[in-house]
Amino acid sequence: MNERLHLDRQHGQHLFREMLRIRVFEAKCAELYQAQKIRGFLHLYDGEEAVAVGVMQVLEERDAIVATYREHGHAIARGISMGPLMAEMYGNEEGCCRGRGGSMHFFDRTKRFYGGNAIVGGGLPLAVGLALADKELRPGAVTACFFGEGAAGEGEFHESMNLAELWQLPVLFVCENNLYAMGMPLELAEAETDIFRKAQAYRMPSESADGMNPIAVEAAARRAIEKIRAGNGPAFLECHTYRFRAHSMFDAQLYRTREEIARWKEKDPIPRMRLWLEETHMMSEAEFERIEHEVDAEVEASVAFAEAGRPEDVGELERFVVMDEVPQ
């Protein structure tokens, strides 16, 4: 935690709390999935929390977010209430998408959170479109687009890089490089394993950061977004991170060893942040316990909210399929 960034007591505690909220929420999701309360696909973010939390510190209400199917952390860090998120997991109409999206398709118009996109690389052209619209309609707004390193092998990655730079669009591309595109090791899929260098091929400002350190991520995101807001076009940030859990709940993880996972867990951003806050006397043991208690209570409340909900009535099946009225 040695990134040079002014960090006061309040902000340091906030970073820790936000990462812990994501970790505890997802641990509960895994438990509920095994209990068959949550069905379908479930992709967890454990280990990568520092990326979403670090970037979100620099974004404003006017900014847009586009995420991947591993987006629970992004949604929580963006400020979407856990209750509607958990209800969406349950498939209930109280969910943020009325139960129609599930784990991979969180959406909240009020937070300008545009997915949750299940297709690898599918959010990149969407982010370009949002940034193009904002350039005309919301001067100063930025679109932050999160994606995994596996997206670098998709055609829309290169098309999006090219158009964003060509049109000087206000978009921050955030590559969450966790080394495995599902189960494919990066070095077996890409001749150039430094993904940020691919953006440089399009003359786009880019850099890499320690994705296991929210302070480093925030500092890098702040540098990039300041340039974007000043009208200097897009920027690219590669965050080196690691997911501690399987790709999905159906993944046997035959492509990596337990020893490798254990080595990366030594870099776990949450205990690292806690240790740093203790050493710098920014948090006491009592404060840690209070935050942990509050986070546990928040997650349990989200489960109670979801349990009290109900699936959407079958009579609503055709609603929202086609647009039959112009929103005011």
Q: What is the pLDDT of residue 248?
A: 87
Query: 53 near 19, Cβ under 8 Å?
Result: yes
H helices present in 118-247, as ranges: 123-137, 155-166, 186-189, 196-200, 214-229
CA distances from 124 to 121, 134, 255 (A): 6, 15, 27
Is residue 286 domain-resident?
yes
pLDDT over 60 (residue 265)? yes
3-state secondary structure of 137: helix
Q: Is residue 239 part of a domain?
A: yes
Asked if residue 273 is part of any domain, the answer here is yes
Q: What is the CATH number of the domain that holds 49?
A: 3.40.50.970
Mean pLDDT score, 129-155? 96
In a domain, 314, yes or no: no
Q: Which residues contact 198 (CB under 8 A, 6 or more apart)?
A: 152, 157, 158, 161, 192
Residue 125: CB atoms within 10 A of its CB come to 18
Confidence of residue 2 (pLDDT cuts 50, 70, 90): very low
Return the closest-CA partner of residue 41 out of 124, 118, 120, 95. Answer: 118
Quick: pLDDT tens for 294-313. 999 999 999 999 999 999 88
Q: For residue 128, count other CB atoms closer than 10 A to its CB.
A: 25
Look up residue 44 and give its two tokens. 């967890």
Model confidence over 32-63: pLDDT tens digits?
Answer: 999 999 999 999 999 999 999 999 999 999 99
**pLDDT for residue 132 is more than 90:** yes
Residue 251 is assigned to a structural domain of this protein? yes
* Full residue range of the structural domain in which residue 88 is found: 9-305
**Mean pLDDT, residues 138-143:** 96
Residue 258 pLDDT more than 60? Answer: yes
Q: Supply the pTM of this predicted model.
A: 0.93
Whether residue 311 lies inside any domain: the answer is: no
Q: Number of structural domains, the chain? A: 1
| Average model confidence (pLDDT) across the chain | 93
Query: Using one digit for the tens of pLDDT, what is the confidence trace for 205-251?
Result: 999 999 999 999 999 999 999 999 999 999 999 999 999 998 988 88
Between CA 191 and CA 186 the distance in angstroms is 9
83 in a structural domain: yes
Tell me if 317 is assigned to some domain.
no
